[in-house]
Structure 1
Amino acid sequence: MIIMIAAVAENNALGKDNELVWHLPNDFKRFKELTTGHYIIMGRKTFESFPKPLPNRTHVVITRQKEYSPDGCIVVNSIENAIKVCPKDAPVFIIGGGEIYQQGLEYTDKIEITKVHGHFDADTFFPEIDLSVWELATSTFNEKDEKHLFSFTYQTYLRK
């Protein structure tokens, strides 16, 4: 199963200057819980935004750069090749960025969204979720608090 996972603002903002524009510790914990032990597909810029590779995950990095070869990663040149190198019988997560989300949407079976309640200045956006293709299966609201400056909602979409 191919699962897209993202934290997305109400205006579909993902980030700016290759960084997130909010800090939600519980969303980081959820991301870790869901993706640990699995293959994660990402673009080169998303990979380079991490201080180091994420532990206990197999990184599949998509890039057009022919000589790109970070230690411990599988490097491919397309979303199709990324999917081919992943196991067919286990969850595989597409984790960004914007261009990879757009390319991966047609292959995705499930979308795990953290909807951040706010509008943000951004240069990278998540594709529009077409409700004629996707059905909202679950939704859990989280109120802002001392650790979270913004309210957010966990949403799971399944392909119809």
Structure 2
Amino acid sequence: MKNLFSFTFIALLLFSCNDQIEFNSPAVQGNKDGSLWRAEFYAADIDFGGFLVEGGINLERVQLVTVTDTRGTFPLGGDAPNRALFKNSQGVVYSTANNPDESLSLYPTIGEIIVEDISNTTPKTMSGTFWFYAYTSDGLNTVNFSQGVFHEIPLIGGLEEFPND
């Protein structure tokens, strides 16, 4: 009986170890205001000479916009032309292109998008990291993303940057 149990256990281990292990790939995720935020859908586009990476869950969206379509580090905030945007479920847009109201913060928006890899697959994919502080157009509300990752996001096109109202 002990041998039968051992054989059954070993057989279960062998047959349950297959190539169907699920990894979170592709993925767009990060800590939004300290809580894990993980996109359920994602895509990327090359437009106007730069990248646009988008991830979303329900009605929320994150967009990362660079001015060139190369690997590299893209600063956000201040005079930097790169942008990170977040649209919440009520349609309110937060952007690194907006400055905070002086009553809220004396510090400007900051952040960074790092494009680490662009694959040569079909379709091409891109991977990297990001973090940012973004404000509403009136500068009174903020959202923070830290430890953000976009991994193997397909460059399929058809995306548009949402307006910063």
Q: What TM-score results when the alignment is normalised by the length of structure 1?
A: 0.21
| Larger RCO, structures 1/2 (Cα 8 Å, 6+ apart) | 1
Query: Which structure: greater strand fraction?
Result: 2
Query: Which structure: greater helix fraction?
Result: 1
Q: What TM-score results when the alignment is normalised by the length of structure 2?
A: 0.21
